[in-house]
Amino acid sequence: MRPFDYVEIRVPAKPQYVGVARLTISGLASRVGFTYDEIEDLKIASSEAITNAVQHAYSEVDEGEVVVGCALYPDKIEIMVADHGKSFDFEETKKKVGPYHEQQEVQFLREGGLGLYLIETLMDEVKVHHQEGVTVFMTKYVGEEQVEENVETISS
């Protein structure tokens, strides 16, 4: 038995489905046991990745699909977002995604802009893979401290 539950969502590459995928991921994250704030972070990060995928898919084909794969572990969630409509073998694709290199990703960065920055800030690990489109692979651990931001919350 594999060590995680796997849920895959496929949505048309249209902006109106970003929120649908976000809602699903929010539900999955709460199943894993993330806190309210962590779930909000996950919602933003995954929406950013899906928004990028939607915009990317749009510019290339008319009727693209975005595939979002979520692996649920006891202590973390792994989310993979691909802008090419094909389903992926989660484990295989996971092996292929390399660490994030700033120079290589300049093109993607420019497209993603603030979005990719937010993904990096809100998630614990981020990897980007270019082959037949762009795949973003991101991980968030339950209860991982997000130092700077927590300070403010306490003082308010």
Positions touching another protein (CB under 8 A) are 15-16, 18-20, 22, 36-37, 40, 43-44, 47-48, 50-51, 54-55, 113-115, 117-118, 121, 149, 152-153, 156
> Residues 41, 74: contact at Cβ < 8 Å?
no
**Distance in Å, CB of 2 to another protein, minimum:** 31
Q: How far is the CB of 23 from another protein (least distance, A)?
A: 8
Nearer to another protein, 13 or 94 (CB): 13
Using the structure block, give the residue that is written with the tokens 């690990």.
Answer: 125
How far is the C-alpha of 71 from the C-alpha of 77, rounded, in Å? 6
Q: How far is CA 101 from CA 86, 97, 107, 130, in A?
A: 25, 11, 11, 12
Closer to another protein by Cβ: residue 18 or 70: 18
Q: 43 or 84: whose CB is closer to another protein? A: 43
Angstrom distance (rounded) from CA 56 to CA 132 = 12
Rounded CA separation 50/17 (Å): 9
3-state helix, strand, coil in the chain (%, to 5): 50, 25, 25
CB-nearer residue toward another protein: 40 or 105: 40
Q: How far is the CB of 138 from another protein (least distance, A)?
A: 14
Shortest separation between residue 91's beta carbon and another protein, angstroms: 29
